[in-house]
């Protein structure tokens, strides 16, 4: 006896075949690690009312991939000062992976930096997953596969994390992870664009590269810098790494000393400091016994970096007597001034032009700013 099939049965079998073979027009990112690919086929035929099903499960493993490292702009630091640069690192793998951070330093025209570069933190763990359902502009929830554990984390992603989805960055408000099936990631803000099934949901973090001291410039007039190669290496697969080469330019702090004869002005090369004219030290500066000399010391931080702990020391010149209470920092009376110059023991300086008179300076000079010290002596 011949079996009879109607057109609906034939179509059903054709659809089953397409599903089993995996034929689809949709293109997906890598399947999320720790998720399960379930494939279920069903069969119905004349004489049964409930389809017969058959399923198989496949567990997806981690496929390590090199993360994306930002390339911060080259920075400028004063000689002897620390250098800190901020990086962002973004996951590109299909699940959580840890990346160890390391470096190599190549100094040029510098004494050896103190140690190697260090990182804060020195290793970064990034979570990652992919959408199992599309999400539309304005929505704030994402549906992703479960990682097999019922908790508030899915594939390393937890509340407070920063996620890169498409071309935009978001913050995680909460995660509800089920033991099986799907999980939900809720964002603190709405999606800025539609996102489709299979879109990578990648965690992004920041870390800093720190050099305790960039060393001292060996030869003036020659470019000085440190080339730092930063490497982020996957723990799951050491062959997966990303590197960035950063250049720290090192410049010397400008330190000048000028003098003028207040009693009998002479010399050339006027210099304006704090709206006052001073005369640069030159061969034709002269003074007679009893004349008052006014010295100007100027410390200027490089344009690209502040300096800290600045202390100026200067002895009273031989054959001169310090003019009591004559020392000024940025035109303001300094702490400890009196019959003896406070510069003899060392005077902390800063760029504060609004400091309270006689208050101690902080020693901090902002990038491109100056600290100007003035004091007077009389020629014996």
Please report which confidence band the pLDDT of residue 281 belongs to, taking 50, 70 and 90 as the band edges.
Answer: low
Please report which confidence band the pLDDT of residue 199 belongs to, taking 50, 70 and 90 as the band edges.
Answer: very high
Exposed/middle/buried for 108, CB within 10 Å: 0-12, 13-18, 19+?
A: middle
Q: Is residue 223 pLDDT above 80, yes or no?
A: yes
Digit-coded pLDDT (tens) for 70-124: 989 999 888 888 899 999 999 999 999 999 999 988 999 998 765 678 999 999 9
- Sheet with 97-108: list strands edge to edge: 75-78, 241-251, 225-234, 97-108, 123-126
Digit-coded pLDDT (tens) for 240-275: 999 999 999 998 888 888 888 888 776 544 455 544
Predicted pLDDT of residue 37: 79
Predicted pLDDT of residue 11: 30
Please report which confidence band the pLDDT of residue 57 belongs to, taking 50, 70 and 90 as the band edges.
Answer: confident
- Domains of the chain listed by start with CATH number: 7-59 (no CATH), 68-126+207-251 (2.60.40.10), 132-198 (no CATH), 254-379 (no CATH)
Mean pLDDT (whole number) for 292-315: 89
12 phi and psi, to 5 degrees?
Answer: -60, -45
d(CA 232, CA 226): 19
Q: Is residue 278 pLDDT above 60, yes or no?
A: no
d(CA 110, CA 219): 8
Digit-coded pLDDT (tens) for 327-341: 999 989 999 999 999
Please report which confidence band the pLDDT of residue 194 belongs to, taking 50, 70 and 90 as the band edges.
Answer: very high
Predicted pLDDT of residue 237: 96
Q: Is residue 225 pLDDT above 90, yes or no?
A: yes
Q: Which residue has the higher pLDDT, 358 or 7?
A: 358
Within a 13 Å sphere around the CA of 112, how many CA atoms are in the beta-carbon half? 4
**Arithmetic mean of pLDDT over the chain:** 86
CA dihedral sign of residues 24, 25, 30, 33: negative
Residues 6+ apart with CB under 8 A from 301: 78, 253, 307, 351, 365, 366, 367, 368, 369, 370
Choose the weakest-confidence range: 85-94, 163-172, 220-229.
Answer: 220-229
Closest among 124, 120, 110, 111 to 85, alpha carbons compared = 120
Digit-coded pLDDT (tens) for 350-360: 999 899 999 99
The CA-atom distances, in angstroms, between 170 and each of 30, 38, 109, 190, 315 are: 21, 30, 43, 8, 59
Q: Is residue 198 pLDDT above 50, yes or no?
A: yes
Residues of the chain above pLDDT 90, percent: 61
Choose the weakest-confidence range: 14-18, 177-181, 337-341, 364-368.
Answer: 14-18
Predicted pLDDT of residue 4: 41
Mean pLDDT (whole number) for 206-214: 94
Question: CB count, 10 Å around CB of 39?
Answer: 12
Q: Using the 8-state DSSP alphabet, how is residue 46 labeled?
A: T
Exposed/middle/buried for 94, CB within 10 Å: 0-12, 13-18, 19+?
A: buried
Strands 292-300 and 370-379: antiparallel
Residues 99, 126 contacting (CB under 8 angstroms): yes
Mean pLDDT (whole number) for 225-230: 94
Residues 228, 248 contacting (CB under 8 angstroms): yes
Please report which confidence band the pLDDT of residue 14 belongs to, taking 50, 70 and 90 as the band edges.
Answer: very low
Q: Which residue has the higher pLDDT, 282 or 230?
A: 230
Predicted pLDDT of residue 284: 62
Q: Which residue has the higher pLDDT, 68 or 303?
A: 68
Residues 35, 149 contacting (CB under 8 angstroms): no
Choose the weakest-confidence range: 128-137, 187-196, 210-219.
Answer: 210-219
Q: Is residue 18 pLDDT above 70, yes or no?
A: no
Predicted pLDDT of residue 115: 60
Q: Is residue 13 pLDDT above 50, yes or no?
A: no
């Amino acid at each position: 006896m011949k079996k009879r099939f109607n057109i609906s049965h034939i179509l059903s079998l054709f659809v089953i075949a397409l599903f089993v073979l995996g034929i689809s027009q949709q293109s997906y990112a890598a399947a999320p690690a720790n998720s399960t690919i379930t494939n279920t086929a069903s069969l119905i035929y004349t004489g049964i009312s409930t389809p017969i099903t058959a399923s198989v499960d496949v567990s997806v493993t981690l496929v390590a991939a090199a993360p994306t490292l930002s390339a911060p702009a080259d920075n400028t630091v004063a000689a002897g000062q620390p250098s800190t640069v901020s990086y962002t690192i973004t996951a590109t793998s299909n699940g959580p992976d840890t990346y160890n951070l390391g470096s190599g330093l190549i100094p040029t025209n510098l004494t050896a930096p103190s140690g190697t570069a260090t990182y804060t933190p020195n290793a970064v763990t990034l979570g990652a997953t992919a959408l199992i359902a599309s999400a539309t502009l304005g929505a704030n929830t994402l549906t992703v596969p479960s990682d097999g554990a019922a908790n508030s984390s899915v594939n390393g992603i937890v509340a407070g994390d920063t996620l890169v989805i498409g071309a935009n960055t978001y913050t995680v408000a909460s995660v509800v992870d089920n033991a099986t099936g799907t999980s939900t990631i809720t964002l603190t803000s709405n999606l800025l664009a539609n996102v489709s099934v299979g879109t990578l949901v990648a965690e992004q973090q920041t870390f800093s590269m720190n050099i305790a001291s960039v060393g001292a410039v060996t030869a003036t007039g020659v470019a000085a810098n440190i080339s730092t190669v930063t490497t982020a290496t996957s723990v799951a697969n050491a062959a997966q790494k990303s590197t960035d080469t950063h250049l720290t330019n090192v410049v010397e702090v400008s330190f000048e000393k000028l003098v003028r004869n207040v009693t009998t002005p002479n010399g050339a090369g006027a210099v304006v400091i704090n709206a006052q004219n001073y005369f640069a030290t030159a061969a034709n500066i002269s003074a007679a016994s009893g004349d008052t000399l006014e010295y100007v010391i100027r410390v200027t931080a490089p344009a690209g970096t502040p300096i800290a702990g600045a202390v100026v020391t200067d002895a009273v010149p031989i054959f001169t007597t310090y003019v009591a209470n004559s020392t000024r920092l940025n035109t303001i009376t300094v702490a400890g001034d009196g019959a003896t110059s406070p510069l003899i023991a060392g005077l902390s300086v800063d760029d504060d032009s609004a400091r309270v008179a006689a208050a101690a300076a902080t020693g901090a000079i902002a990038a491109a700013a100056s600290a100007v010290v003035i004091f007077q002596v009389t020629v014996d």
